[in-house]
A and B are shown apart, each in its own frame.
Chain A
Amino acid sequence: MLGLLRLAGFGALALILLYVMVSVYSRSVRREKLEDRAAEKISEGTLAAEDRDDYIETGMAAYEHSLRKKLIWGVIVVPTLTVLVLIYITNFM
């Protein structure tokens, strides 16, 4: 039982770390994309230079509710399911 608890504890820790890393990365990539898009729009003249920060913050707010952000939960769900399936395949098939 102790072994199972240890696996669950360390596994959860590792997966949470991975989740944080991926979500920080994903947010950073999205912000960079918005910055690039804003720069493009400013050079085209479709966005005023002083509205740049507004444009980026609106985009980030939209990201916080996007499907993409919810999909990051996959880095926790998929390995957990994999372990459960592995236990079944190794021992009961």
Chain B
Amino acid sequence: MRYVKWTFLALIALLVFGFLHYTLPQRDIVRIVNTEVRRVDFGENSIFWAAPDVGTASTTTNRDVRFIEAIRPNGKPIVYRNEDTGWGWPPYFKLDSSNLQAEARDLVSTKEAPQWVAVRHYGWRNEFLTIYPNAVGVKPVDGPEVRLIPVLNIFILTLLVALLAFLWRVWAQFRERTIDPLLEDAEETWDAVDERADAARDKARGLWGRLMGWLGKRRR
């Protein structure tokens, strides 16, 4: 039973961590090598794609998606998609995919004369599902060793913890002031019912006992 409990808790923790890791913004320092547009048919991975550009039709099963291809400082490739999140989840309110594509295109550089760029994005790259992180912003930086402090994430996570603590306080106050008095009332009522039931049972036993006693006498 203990293993079941811990497995369950670990799964929940993993789910929360995964959710936050997917949704919160991260910044990579990369060198952009190309930008392109290609048509994507969404299949079982459709949950990992955002929305069509705000204002355009949203009922299509496939559409053109902008991509930003880049190389990490360690030489490995990373490909971002560049989609509007629009008014949906996650709440980045990104409406400017076309503009971002132009900015990214402007920052394309070669291996010989690299222009390093911090790409703010959310999401995961996964080859098995063919999913890509969604780029939210690009900003030129001095070099691949620049230290970026995730101020926004620190702020968001602090806010989240504060919100949870506050909800806990609200619940504790509600329990103390509203539920507990109700339960006490119910307990008193129940006690009264219980007493009456006890009395009735004693009475019934008396009757039954007399009956049994009478039967016993008859049999003898």
A90: contacting residue among B87, B137, B173, CB under 8 A: B137
What are the residues of chain A within 8 A of B169 when measuring CB–CB? 25
Chain A: how many interface residues by the 8 Å CB criterion?
19
A90 adjacent to B174 (CB under 8 Å): no
What are the residues of chain B within 8 A of A22 when measuring CB–CB? 170
**A28-B95 contact in complex given A1-B55, A3-B51, A90-B137, C-beta closer than 8 Å:** no
B170 adjacent to A21 (CB under 8 Å): yes
Cα(A29)–Cα(B177), bound, Å: 9
Q: Does A81 contact B (CB under 8 A)?
A: no
Cα(A4)–Cα(B166), bound, Å: 29
What are the residues of chain B within 8 A of A86 when measuring CB–CB? 91-93
B86 adjacent to A3 (CB under 8 Å): yes
Q: Does A6 contact B (CB under 8 A)?
A: yes
Q: Does A83 contact B (CB under 8 A)?
A: yes
B93 adjacent to A29 (CB under 8 Å): no
Closest residue of A by beta carbon distance from B167: A21
What are the residues of chain A within 8 A of B70 when measuring CB–CB? none
Greatest chain B CB density within 10 A among A31, A83, A87 is at A87
B173: contacting residue among A4, A7, A25, A83, CB under 8 A: A25
Main secondary structure of the interface of A (DSSP, over half): helix
**A3-B96 contact in complex given A21-B170, A25-B173, A86-B91, C-beta closer than 8 Å:** no
CB distance from A60 to the nearest CB of B (A): 14
Q: A1-28 toward B: CB 8 Å interface, digit per residue (1/0)?
A: 1011011000000000000011011001
Q: A39-81 toward B: CB 8 Å interface, digit per residue (1/0)?
A: 0000000000000000000000000000000000000000000
Cα(A72)–Cα(B186), bound, Å: 34
Q: Does B136 contact A (CB under 8 A)?
A: yes
What are the residues of chain B within 8 A of A87 when measuring CB–CB? 93, 95
Q: Which residues of B contact A (CB under 8 A)?
A: 51, 54-55, 58, 86-88, 91-96, 99, 136-137, 169-170, 173-174, 177-178
Q: Which residues of A contact B (CB under 8 A)?
A: 1, 3-4, 6-7, 21-22, 24-25, 28-29, 31-32, 83, 86-87, 90-92
By Cβ-Cβ distance, the 5 closest A-B pairs, closest first, are A3-B87, A7-B87, A91-B96, A87-B93, A25-B170
User: 28 A-B pairs, CB-CB below 8 angstroms?
Assistant: A3-B58, A3-B86, A3-B88, A4-B87, A6-B87, A7-B87, A21-B170, A22-B170, A24-B174, A25-B170, A25-B173, A25-B174, A28-B173, A28-B177, A28-B178, A32-B177, A86-B91, A86-B92, A86-B93, A90-B92, A90-B93, A90-B95, A90-B96, A90-B136, A91-B93, A91-B94, A91-B95, A91-B96
